[in-house]
Structure 1
Amino acid sequence: MVFEVWDGLPVLVGSRADRKAGWFGTRTKLFVHAAAVPSVDAELLARFTAHALAHAKSLRGGIPGARNVVTALPALISTDVHPSAVRFAARDAQMLDTSVVGRPVVVQVGPGVRRTTLYRGQVPWGGLFTRHVLRKADLYFP
């Protein structure tokens, strides 16, 4: 894991790569970008997601394509989460070309509150990894 700075905010970035014979020689590289912010709305989450996708793409290894997919989980954590951010995270995955998939995550925390929102549906590219990525998201953002 490494720390970066994005828009003046410290961001924790972690990654893992998984290759499984059961996936017919396919490989997925999963990046998590997480930052705590005072408040989050859809516009901030969209900008952070675009940054995470571009960063993940710049660090990817291997040949891009249906059998080598990068997934990013850009997560903003806050006590003040605007409903627009929740809708943005839940509505659909974000794509950067055909081999970088982003599932924005918004985590609302506070006294007696912890709610995590992200898109849990299928995607047109990288769909073979959906169950795996969602299992990891559940571990990282319980």
Structure 2
Amino acid sequence: MTRGSLSLVAAAALAAAVLTMWRVNGTSGMVVADTAVIALGQELYDENCASCHGANLQGQPDWKIPLENGRYPAPPHDETGHTWHHADALLEQIIRDGSAAVVGNGYESDMPGFGEVLGDDQISAILAYIKSTWPERERAIQARVTRDRTL
């Protein structure tokens, strides 16, 4: 097993262990991830997402304007983007399967699926990291959207 494979296995084991440590924030009722989950998520984000979505979650310039090939640049995952408008299940599906697979109908995207590279716990950790950077307002809205989509 290579060093990279060992790191990935260790990261997956850590994610599985610490995801059970999530707790509910008493003021808003939102789920708040343990700092170890957020740290793992940041590491995984840096390795798998930052090259397109930016080291600071800022996305690519002019992300709302299609490129010449009709595809859109990578959107930001900070509060200036639209990630916080979507429920966890949809965000997880996009990361796992890729945008084109989720949208369907011939939609083309440069966003690949990471389902063969990242496990569900790792995807959850990445989302925990992204959410940890949002202001309270965006976290609360996204938590409500997630809750409403699962009822």
- Indicate whether the TM-score tops 0.5: no
Which structure carries more strand by proportion?
A: 1
How does the TM-score come out when normalised to structure 2?
0.28
* Bigger Rg over Cα: 2
How does the TM-score come out when normalised to structure 1?
0.29
